[in-house]
Chains A and B, each alone.
Chain A
Amino acid sequence: MKGHGSIVVAGRNVAAGQGSRLQSAYAEPPFSIRECGERVLIAASAAAPLGGDELSLRVAVEAGARADIGTVASTIVLPGPTGAPSTMFTDCSVARGGHLEWVGEPTVSVGGSDHTVSTTVRLEELATCRIVEEVSLGRSGEPSGTLRLVLRVERCGQPLVHHDELFGPSVPGAGSVVSVGPARHVLSEVVVGVETGESRSVVGSESRAAWLPVADDAVLLLAVGPDRPAVLAAVAEVYRKPS
């Protein structure tokens, strides 16, 4: 399946601070796009991604607007009939003074699948964002497939974060701390437009997380652990911890 979606969020009356609206949405299967209160939610209208799928999404946040985008459900990545890999490319641009909040439900990599999720966020001057990605490596008690997560955030044409990570039982060094060790759940969060303070880290026996400032007002938070509750607890601890 080849599917494309597009979301454009504009400010109502930016000068008067009257909030934002979904200006346009376009969705081919497997995407369907719904306004849900203040949020824009992406729901899957078909089982995807399956091996061989090529999916893409374009998000544009216009000047001064605030977009709060999420997914309705977790994304289950399944192998296809031919063993071909699947891809999901998301391209986001946030114009001057805009904000993009992107908090998706976890992506679950099912054994035998081979999937790439690549997200690019381009921020103009004074634009901010919060991008949260979560990954479950395999269904309960099962090995994961191969999953590649690429995240690149640029501000005014300059790179802030470029992180390209490969997960799965057959990646080089799988199981070691070069990868994610024995962890089964991984979270990454980029926040631009926050007072970062000093870095912080939480290294427990099972869950590990760190708050890693990449600029005075931008941070990458990384967390890994055995399951979602443990990872979310580590994230909360990093947020609470004084720097």
Chain B
Amino acid sequence: MHAALMMLVDGRFPAGGHTNSAGVEAAVRVGDIRDEPSLRRYLTGRLATTGIVDAAFSAHTAGLAPPFDEQLIALGLEYSARVPSPNLRDVSTRFGRQMLRAGAQVWSSPLLDAVASGQPGVHQPLILGAIAQAAGGTPNDAALLSLHHLAAAVTSAAIRLLGLDPMSVAAMQAEMSEQIDACANDADLWAGACPADLPANSGSLTEILAEDHGRWDARLFVA
């Protein structure tokens, strides 16, 4: 890994990731996440569902070769079809916009230009993939970045909401590294796949609770 990619891993990169709890805020409210074991169970499930889907779309985008416009449109439609919650789709394009604003100032590439000048409302995993490519990353790098962002969002949100011990949560996340790495094993396969065949792993309650969360009067996180 090189320095440019490390900027994307760094939580201080101004892409707005700290406002995403990846569903943890809603899960805490309904009592599903209470402690470290239930947090671990949640992260395990989330990696295998939305985690895989986002990683796959990032990996595919990171592997794109020109011409880009039609491929980006097809990818956007496929991703939208996998996110039935309108709130989650909206959050994804908002995070995408924020990440693109930061990324397009730092890097430039034909793909990033195509993303920035094409239709608005590009989903975050596609933006991450385009930025990863511009920063010299492979599809596997893009998938790992996506999965790491998810793990970081879940664990840091749980620490803030439940007051869990940050060191012991970090140890838990480290213990799950092998599992996280394994989720990206198919990155090259995803890069070469037809967009319709990319994973669509999902959970009914993920969508239901995320839609409900969007309507809360007061919340700490965007999603």
Contacts and interface: CB of A to CB of B under 8 A. Distances in A.
A222 interface: yes
Contact of B208 (A161, A166, A208): A208
Interface stretch (B115-123, B124-132, B185-193, B199-207): B199-207
Interface string B133-168: 000000000000000000000000000000000000
B27 A177 contact: yes
Residue among A162, A179, A183, A212 with the highest chain B CB neighbour number at 10 A: A162
A27 interface: no
B26 to A, nearest CB: 8
B204 A173 contact: no
Contact of B45 (A150, A158, A161, A178): A178
Contact of A199 (B42, B43, B196, B211): B211
Interface in B8-67: 23, 26-27, 30, 32-33, 38, 41-49
B84 A212 contact: yes
Contacts of A199: 85-87, 211
Given A159-B196, A179-B203, A186-B204, A174 B45 contact: yes
Q: How large is the interface on B (under 10, 10 to 19, 20 to 34, 35 or more residues)?
A: 35 or more
A173 B200 contact: no
A172 to B, nearest CB: 4
Contacts of A180: 203-205
A160 B80 CA distance: 8
Chain B interface mostly: helix
A164 B201 CA distance: 5
A214 B80 CA distance: 8
Contacts of B46: 173, 178
Chain A interface mostly: strand
A203 B209 contact: yes
Contacts of A188: 204
B199 A164 contact: yes
A213 interface: yes
Nearest to A151: B200
A159 B208 contact: no
B70 to A, nearest CB: 12
A164 B202 contact: yes
B201 A224 contact: no
A224 B212 CA distance: 14
A203 B27 CA distance: 12
B39 to A, nearest CB: 9
Contacts of B2: none
Contact of A222 (B27, B47, B49, B208): B208
Residue among B86, B202, B207, B208 with the highest chain A CB neighbour number at 10 A: B208
Given A163-B82, A199-B85, A210 B208 contact: yes
B212 A162 contact: no
A201 B212 CA distance: 6
A186 B45 CA distance: 18
Given A208-B209, A212-B85, A212-B207, A171 B48 contact: yes
Nearest to B81: A159
Given A178-B42, A199-B87, A164 B200 contact: yes
A125 interface: no
Nearest to A183: B205
Given A172-B48, A176-B38, A224-B208, A163 B84 contact: yes
B174 interface: no
Contacts of B208: 201, 203, 208-210, 222-224
B105 to A, nearest CB: 33
21 contacts: A158-B77, A160-B81, A162-B81, A162-B200, A163-B202, A164-B201, A165-B203, A171-B45, A173-B41, A173-B203, A176-B27, A176-B32, A176-B41, A177-B30, A177-B209, A178-B48, A178-B49, A180-B205, A199-B211, A210-B85, A222-B208
Which 6 residue pairs across A and B have the least CB separation, nearest first?
A173-B45, A178-B45, A172-B48, A159-B81, A164-B200, A201-B212
Interface of A: 150, 152, 158-166, 171-181, 183, 186, 188, 199, 201, 203, 208-210, 212-214, 220, 222-224
